[in-house]
Amino acid sequence: MKKIGWHEARLIPTTGINSQVEQERRATAALLATMTAVERFGRALTEPLEAPAGTIETFTEVPFSSGDNECLPHGVIRVSDGGTLWTALVEVSTGPRPLRSSRLEAYLDLATEHDIDALLTISNEIPPVAGQHPTTVAKEKLGAVPMLHFPWSTIVAEAVVEREECSGEDPSTAWVLGELIHYLEHPRSGALLFEITDDAPTTYLPRIDTAPERELNPVADLPAPRGPVRREIRIALREDPEPEPPGEPGWYRDQEQQENADRMRWWDGSTWTEHVYRLPAAPENEKVDN
């Protein structure tokens, strides 16, 4: 007899997701693996990108070198059809966080440099006009590499259609698609998540707090930043912060309120705490080196 608190074993588990970084990694891996396992589903998502109808291979977190920098897109799709090899980069966002223009522009440059054919983006954003991308990028970045956007709702809808079509003739494939649907519909996956629920991971995610805002001062037992001229703070306030959680405890740019460029949050070495700090304004005659 099933007991209360027992979690059904799933092909793609929702347990153990503690941050938006983990959400994006797991959602990317689940989607790309299903595209490889279920040819019809993979083809339905690559055909709009004008990919050939060939064998689909997918990869996660593939490192690319671009000048002195290393880029790590969430995924890569590769389709081979005889002598033709087609490749696309994949950039993913979960929860309410939008895609970032700076990252997409960097990936468009990367695609041009490495002869990559397309850039596929996936998030919960829905463009106002069909075929239009929800994120604005510089016009000079467009043209050489096509950029296509899928909302997570479109991914789920396509999986539902494919599952229904193969449910009678191929129950195993229908079950795999059903597991992907089950995962993406769960609030902890970050897909189809337009507002934060109590069950969603809180690291890196904005929190809905109906209580009055706490005064933005660090607690007494935590060291206060010394001002915006410190090197650590200059790094923390750059436009494109580190995607991974920091390795050392300290004050870092607040990932939950990225629009507040002068707001810091304390990382205790394993999780983001409730302690926040607003940096004092720099004197007008003091310049901050980048």
pTM greater than the 0.85 cutoff? no
Residue 73 lies in a domain: yes
Residue 195 lies in a domain: no
Cβ–Cβ under 8 Å, residues 185 and 160: no
Residues 131 and 244 in one domain: no
Residues 57 and 184 in one domain: yes
What is the spatial distance between Cα 160 and Cα 153, in angstroms, rounded to a whole number? Answer: 11
Q: Which of 169, 189, 209 marks a domain boundary?
A: 189
What rounded mean pLDDT belongs to the chain? Answer: 78
Query: Percent of the chain at pLDDT above 70?
Result: 72
Residues 27 and 165 in one domain: yes
Residues 174 and 227 in one domain: no
Residues 178 and 221 in one domain: no
At 223 the pLDDT is 52
Residue 99 lies in a domain: yes
At 217 the pLDDT is 45
- The total number of structural domains in the chain stands at 2
pLDDT digits (tens, 9 = 90+) for 97-112: 899 999 999 999 999 9
Residue 200 lies in a domain: no
Segment 133-154 shows an average pLDDT of 89
Cβ–Cβ under 8 Å, residues 95 and 190: yes
At 119 the pLDDT is 96
For residue 80, the enclosing domain spans 20-189
At 270 the pLDDT is 75
